[in-house]
A = this chain, B = another copy of it.
Amino acid sequence: MRTELQARLAEIPLIDHHVHGPLKDHVSRAEFELLITESDRPVPAWMTQFDSQVGFAVRRHCAPVLGLPPHASPEEYWATRSGLEPGELTRRLLAASRTRRWLVETGYAGERIAGLSEFGELVEGRVDEVVRLESVLESVARGCTADGLVAAFRDELQRRARDAVGLKSIVAYRHGFDFDPEPPSRGDVLRAAERWLRTVDAGAEPRVDDIVLLRMLLREGVSTGLPLQLHAGYGDPDVELHRCDPLLLTRWLKAIEGSGTDVLLLHCYPFHRNAGYLAQAFPHVYFDVGLAINYTGARSAAVVAESLELAPFAKLLYSSDAWGPPELHHLGAVLWRRGMALAMAEWVDEGEWSLEEAVRVATLIGRENAARVYGLDDD
């Protein structure tokens, strides 16, 4: 049954509802190893990042796309990969993922990766933009007055969001979810803006981590009515992971419930069961296990299975959260399909589920829920 189910799931034209651009240029092996971990610390000399679940998954699933046998050694893999022109490498891996549509979050370290239009040229499928709220605010900070900051942000957000399908907040990284669920007062925002802009005027790189300003961004984002993605759970060492448990959002989720805005909790690991509870309790809450799929490699089947507990099947989505190495764009899709197939094949074999229902649920999660939430009518 597993084989048949895997074959059926391989055909689903995925919508990757949260992804970033692939690398534009060659990278060194040391750079590559830093791009297949969420750590931002140099990889110590006594280890290689290939010795990890994601490293093993690269060798298993990406090596064949490059014409190598599965489990090629890191050295063989690196030699072959280095011989390929970056665009060619990316095209191959992205095509192999059989992802039809990519919702691309453009707010992080954009200079090293393909922009939206470049991304579009690398794939047969379509690309759409998801705009990061913090980046928009940071882009208007220089030269702005505290008084004018919110208006300048709104103008820029309106401009940026015109063709976007969704918004994203990284309040999890910049503060954590332990914040006052009510929107901030005008006075509080003004004072926070003054403090922040003073540091910007003094020459600091604009980086918003004041929780009052971050809450203002959430309020503004919610008011657009666009689907709002929130990083939750696992990420780089900037997060204080226990402060990124989506349960800490409970009061905020209730506070915005009447707005009509959908909230999409991204990754959520190791709190994905908590996210499943929120997705059952609240009609406007969705989640995925995005980033955690790639980084748990062979174990991602367990993580995917755990995501299939409390949430109604209309409330789960697929994303790779790939950034940089196109291996990650491919792996996200391969491992998600594998995880879904392994979990559901067991249920089908046992008679708990029927095969057709399993394929239908995978199609909901792999594309149809995203099409509905983001209003991708043409997909």
Taking the full assembly, how many copies of this chain does it contain?
Answer: 3
A299 and B340 CA atoms in complex are apart in Å by 13
Within 8 Å of chain B (Cβ to Cβ): is A283? yes
Are A241 and B247 in contact, with the CB atoms below 8 A? yes
Asked if B314 and A47 make an inter-chain contact with CB atoms under 8 angstroms apart, the answer reads yes
Task: Determine whether the beta carbon of A308 is less than 8 Å from that of B53.
Answer: yes
Cβ of A367 < 8 Å from any Cβ of B? no
A242-B250, A283-B41, A357-B71 known; A51+B298 contact, CB < 8 A: no
A280 touches B247 (CB 8 A): no
Instruction: Report if A273-B273 is in contact (Cβ < 8 Å); known contacts: A237-B282, A241-B247.
Output: no
Report yes or no: A281 in contact with B39, Cβ–Cβ below 8 A: yes
A191 at the interface (CB under 8 A from B): no
Which residues of chain A from 40 to 67 have any CB-CB distance to chain B below 8 Å in the complex?
A: 41-44, 46-47, 49, 51-53, 55-57, 60
Q: Does the CB pair B309–A53 fall under 8 Å?
A: yes
CB pair B241 A274 closer than 8 Å: yes
Complex Cα distance, B315 from A37, in Å, reads 13
The closest CB in chain B to the CB of A236 belongs to B281
Q: Which residue of B lies closest to A364 (CB)?
A: B51
A179 within 8 A of B: no
A57 CA to B354 CA in the complex, in Å? Answer: 11
**Cβ B309 vs Cβ A305 within 8 A:** no
Chain A, range 114-154, C-beta contacts under 8 Å to B: none
A314 touches B46 (CB 8 A): yes
In whole angstroms, what is the CA distance A283 to B176 when docked? 23
A196: chain B residues at CB < 8 Å are none
Contact A283 B39 (CB under 8 A): yes
> Most chain-B Cβ atoms within 10 A of its Cβ — which of A248, A251, A274?
A274
Taking a contact as CB atoms closer than 8 A, the residue among B39, B280, B305 that contacts A299 in the complex is: B305
Task: Give the CA-CA distance A251 to B237 in the complex, in Å.
Answer: 10
A298 partner residues in chain B, CB cutoff 8 A: 347, 350, 352-353
Minimal beta-carbon separation of A100 from chain B (angstroms): 21
The one of B52, B270, B352 that contacts A273, using a Cβ cutoff of 8 Å = B270
A287 on the B face (CB < 8 A): no
A346 to B306, CA, bound (A): 18
A4, chain B: closest CB distance, angstroms: 16
**A71–B354 touching, CB < 8 Å:** yes
Residue A203 CB within 8 A of the other chain = no
Provide the residues of chain B in CB contact with A303, threshold 8 Å. 309
Q: How far is the CB of A173 from chain B (nearest CB, A)?
A: 13
With A56-B357, A247-B240 known to touch, is A280 a contact of B38 (CB < 8 Å)? yes
A247 to B, closest residue via Cβ: B242
Task: Please pick, from B39, B49, B311, the residue contacting A282 in the complex, using a CB distance under 8 A.
Answer: B39
A295 CA to B276 CA in the complex, in Å?
Answer: 11
The answer to whether A51 touches B242 (Cβ under 8 A) is no
* Cβ contacts A to B, 12 pairs, < 8 Å: A41-B281, A41-B283, A42-B283, A52-B313, A53-B308, A53-B309, A234-B277, A241-B277, A242-B247, A297-B352, A298-B350, A302-B305
A-B complex: 8 closest residue pairs judged by Cβ atoms: A47-B314, A270-B273, A242-B247, A237-B281, A52-B312, A296-B309, A298-B352, A298-B347
